[in-house]
Structure 1
Amino acid sequence: MSDATRQSAEGSPPEARSQGAAPFGASAPLRVLASAAAEEWIARLSARHGPLMFHQSGGCCDGSAPICFTRGEFRTGAQDVLLGHVAGDTPVWIGAAQFEYWRHTQVTIDVVPGRGAGMSLEAPEGVRFIVRSRVFDDAEAAALEALGDPPRGDG
């Protein structure tokens, strides 16, 4: 287990990495980040399976754990919201209903030891992706509000 995975498993805040700038040079925070440990696992899984994507459903399939798919294996629609990208170009989607509950939070995808959801690519590896979150402060929330809602999937 890497130091970053061990720290995350022990409850210490994961080291989250920024994934690019906010759109149009705005000072709004990113809606989604990935810990260093999660980025390592995304790289491993990408090398084995090709480009990846995440979907955060909000209830089914192992609670509300992020599910890691080969990109295109999960078809997004009008009821899916693109939170952003992690580990370079890995898109992170969330169900629209779940987004309404979480729109005030920044989500960090992390990884911890344990069994993942059966459909998620990391499931047989002895680790599972999880989400950690923090509430945006008033200035961050206002900056995000000014940008409008994130894009939705095709539908």
Structure 2
Amino acid sequence: MEMIHVILWLIYPYTIMVIVVMGLVWQYDIAKVLEDSDVNLKTSLFLRKTITSVMSLSFITGLAVIFSSNIPNDPEHLFIWFMSLLQFNPDMNVIMNISILSQVHLFLVLTLVLLLSFTKYISFLFNPHRYIKFQLVKKINKL
């Protein structure tokens, strides 16, 4: 097993998990601090463009994985790898046996989650109904 595989499929996912948890903690902590303040935290233009680009690439590779007929077991292998990751016993053989396209897609999804943790939208990842409500309120306020 090469060092790049250890970094990509062991260290990187656990690092992202920690950063996402800290992003959630920071978001709720900063909300309490800014409750009385008129300060508005905005995501930088560069971060928004980067998130949009990574999301688009992730969507394209996801469609490619779905419509590629020669890799039917990759979603099952990804699920097994993810569950082994959550159990703190990652199975590197599973992730190494999936296609390169699926590996690229997984890397892009992990990177997207990492980038989202630096924005105020990280909570929408865990509560998607709040995002829909947020968008509706935003449209109503524009009227």
TM-score over 0.5 for the pair: no
Structure (1/2) with the larger strand percentage = 1
The structure that is helix-richer by fraction is: 2
TM-score (norm 2): 0.22
Q: Which has the higher contact order (CA 8 A, sep 6+)?
A: 2
- Structure of greater Rg: 2
TM-score scaled by length of structure 1: 0.21
